[in-house]
Structure formats: structure tokens, C-alpha cells
Amino acid sequence: MALDAARYVAGLPKAELHMHIEGSIEPELMFELAARNGVPLRWKTVEEVRQAYRFHNLQSFLDLYYDGCRVLVTERDFHDVTRAYLRRAHADRVRHAEMFIGPQGHTRRGVALETVLEGVLAAMDAAEREDGITSGLLLGAQRHLPEEDALAMLEAAEPWRDRILGYGLGGAEVGNPPSKFARFFAACRERGFRVTAHAGEEGPASYVRESVELLQVDRIDHGNSCLDDPALVAELAARGTPLTVCPLSNLRLRVVEDMTRHPLATMLRAGLNATVNSDDPSYFGGYVNDNYLACHEALGLDIDDLTLLARNSIRASFLPAERQAALLADIDAWRAAAEAP
Ligand code: HPA
Ligand code: ZN
């Protein structure tokens, strides 16, 4: 039976574990929020914005991304962008999302942490109530800033500790090694939070190793460059460390030259616990299902691979075991239905 990949992926239950709420502001919403808040934009039309989303590396993207954050001012803004993403994810049959927000990019502009968190959390509650999609919140520290700033964010977010799943590390990777944040990650773990770090996107394999061995992360965000170090690949495979891979992000930030050279298939063959995610979907031209399909088309991933990626996403989530088991059963049911005559 020929696989109708688009149909199979569309109905495949899955989790998304690596996306940035600020990176999901579609240009239409950006204009709406800019008008609402009287924030001037450098573009006049939605088309102009999309034209501007051509990047040559991570930094060229981060410059635009931080600039786009200026339209987020009120609690309602943070609610609206989060609710829009969760609605779109629900349409991709994402059953559970673990989302990053970067408070430092907002508090530095004079937006209160309370404004950010209350808006996001209200949207997460609404999405669960209205669509049944569950979600968790990860606070991302910016690695180009001093470790003290990350520690101050951890302290400031304590009043919301019961609503925060964990902490991550993002931003300009090269020159800001994981070791710079050893105390911050130890403090997060000591307080019982889950921890992840972006590593091996533009940085070397040694950054991935440091994240695992020194920061003791629960997941690696990206992880591509681990393939340069066979001993590290063996270690990650043995530990089962999840990698939250973002194929279209890698393409748009020129981490890979073209999709046929994306390392996802190699990762799966090496026994790595890889998952597929959208990272910053409005900037990189695709939501999670677009990422699954791009890999199917360019790398020849078959129904077994696509199913494995969805199963990995559930098992790599921070959901309790019972809910994981229920979602895995849903995946198996979808797979069985696809193969029924
Ligand atoms: N890499 C690093 N930091 C980020 C990214 C990314 O892809 N997206 C948003 N912040
Ligand atoms: Zn990311």
C-alpha cells in the first residue's frame, strides 16, 4: 500500500517539545499587535515581513526575532500569541506541547514577568479547556547574557514555580558554552525543575557533551553536531537522551545546505532518540507537520520512521507515565488504522 504521508502525518498524534512562543507570531498577528500597542514596524505589508525572513545564520535570525518581540506588551498579547500557536498545533494533532518563552527579552524592555507569565498561562488553560491540548512551560535563559541574569530570572519566577515545567538555554551559541551556565543549571535541578539546553546547532559536539555531562540536561535542543563525535553518539544513544531536532529551522538558518543533507535519518539509524519540532514556525516557514513531511520527502522517511518520531516525542516529553501510555496507544491505533484494508 502506498503511503499517503500528508494524511498519515496530519492524523498522527504527537507532542511538540521545541518551539519558542515568540517565534510563532505570524506576520498578520504582528501587525495587529503593533497597531494595538502603537509600536512602529519597519515593514508595511505582511508580504514585506515574509520577504525579510531570509537568514544566513542564527544571529541574523535572532536580530529580527528580538525586534519582533517588541509588539508583545500586555498580558492579552502574550495570551493571544500563545493561544494562536496552541490552536495551530491542535490542528496538526499535537496532543501536548512543551513551549519556551524567554522572559529576559521582555523584562529588559520593561514588561513585567507577571504580564508575560499570566498571559501565557491563561492561554494554556484555555487551550486545554477548549481543545483538550495540554502544554507545559519552559523558561529559556539567553546565553549571551551573564549567568547572574539567568539566576535572577529563576529567583523572580519562584511565585509561579508550580506552573513552570523547567528551564532551557538559547540564543547565540558560539562563544557561549554550556559551562558558562553550570551554576544556573545546578540551581534549576536542585529546585526540582526539568532542564534542556540548545546545543550543537551552530556550536561544536563538545557543547553537546558539556550539556549532558556538566549541565545534566534532560534533553538536548537540536544536537546536530553530536554526529561529529562517534563516542558521543554512542553515549547519547546508550543514555537515550532525547534530541529535539528542528529540520526546517536548520534549513532556514543554514545549519544544513539542503533538506536532502539533513542528519535526521542518520540520527535514527544511529539509535539516537530524535524528535521533530518547529522551533520558530512563523519565521521558518512551517509548523510541526510541515517538518515531518519535509523529512519524509527529502530523506525518504517511511511510515515506521514517522511513527517512531511521534512515539519518541511522547516518550521524551515530561508528561507522567500514564498519559504517555495513553498517547502511545493512540499512535498505535492510528498506525493500525492506516494499515487496515
Ligand atoms: N536557537 C537558539 N536560540 C533560539 C532559537 C534557535 O533556533 N530560536 C529562538 N531562540
Ligand atoms: Zn530553539
The domain ranges of the chain are: 5-339
Query: For position 341, what pLDDT does the model report?
Result: 78
Per the structure block, which three cell numbers stand in for 308? 517512531
Find out whether the beta carbon of 20 lies less than 6 Å from any atom of ligand 1: yes
Question: Which residue is it, cell 547519547?
Answer: 236
Q: What is the DSSP letter of 227?
A: G
Which residue is closest in CA terms to ligand 1's atom 7?
A: 279
Q: What is the DSSP letter of 255?
A: S
Ligand 1 probe mutation, 198, 283, 284, most atoms within 8 A of CB: 198
- In percent, the amount of the chain with pLDDT more than 70 equals 99
Residue 1 has pLDDT above 70, yes or no: no
Find out whether the beta carbon of 280 lies less than 6 Å from any atom of ligand 1: yes
Between CA 20 and CA 277 the distance in angstroms is: 11
Atom of ligand 1 nearest to the CA of 253: 7
pLDDT in tens, 42-92: 999 999 999 999 999 999 999 999 999 999 999 999 999 999 999 999 999
- In percent, the amount of the chain with pLDDT more than 90 equals 98
Which residue is closest in CA terms to ligand 1's atom 3?
A: 171
Find out whether the beta carbon of 249 lies less than 6 Å from any atom of ligand 1: yes
pLDDT in tens, 292-341: 999 999 999 999 999 999 999 999 999 999 999 999 999 999 999 998 87
Can you spell out the DSSP letters for 147-202? HHHHHHHHHHTGGGGGG--EEEEES--TT--GGGGHHHHHHHHHTT-EEEEEESSS
Find out whether the beta carbon of 171 lies less than 6 Å from any atom of ligand 1: yes
Nearest by Cα to 7 from 324, 308, 303, 305? 303
Nearest by Cα to 76 from 27, 105, 33? 33
The vertex-85 CA angle with 116 and 6, nearest 5°, equals 160
3-state SS assignment for residue 270? coil
151 CA to middle of ligand 2, Å? Answer: 20
- Distances in Å between the Cα of 270 and the Cα atoms of 110, 141, 240, 264 are 46, 30, 11, 10
Residue type, 148: E
Query: For position 2, what pLDDT does the model report?
Result: 66
Find out whether the beta carbon of 106 lies less than 6 Å from any atom of ligand 1: no
Q: How would residue 3 be classed by pLDDT, with cut points 50, 70 and 90? A: confident
Q: What is the DSSP letter of 256?
A: S
Query: For position 227, what pLDDT does the model report?
Result: 98
pLDDT in tens, 92-129: 999 999 999 999 999 999 999 999 999 999 999 999 99
Question: Which residue is it, cell 519556551?
Answer: 100
Per the structure block, which three cell numbers stand in for 122? 491563561
* Cα four-point dihedral sign 203, 206, 211, 212: positive
pLDDT in tens, 219-270: 999 999 999 999 999 999 999 999 999 999 999 999 999 999 999 999 999 9
Spatial strand order of the sheet with 194-199 comes to 14-16, 94-101, 134-142, 166-170, 194-199, 219-222, 242-245, 273-276
The overall average pLDDT reported for the chain is 97
Q: What is the pTM of this model?
A: 0.98
Residue 222 bridge partners (DSSP): 199
198 CA to middle of ligand 1, Å? Answer: 8
Architecture of domain 5-339: Alpha-Beta Barrel (3.20)
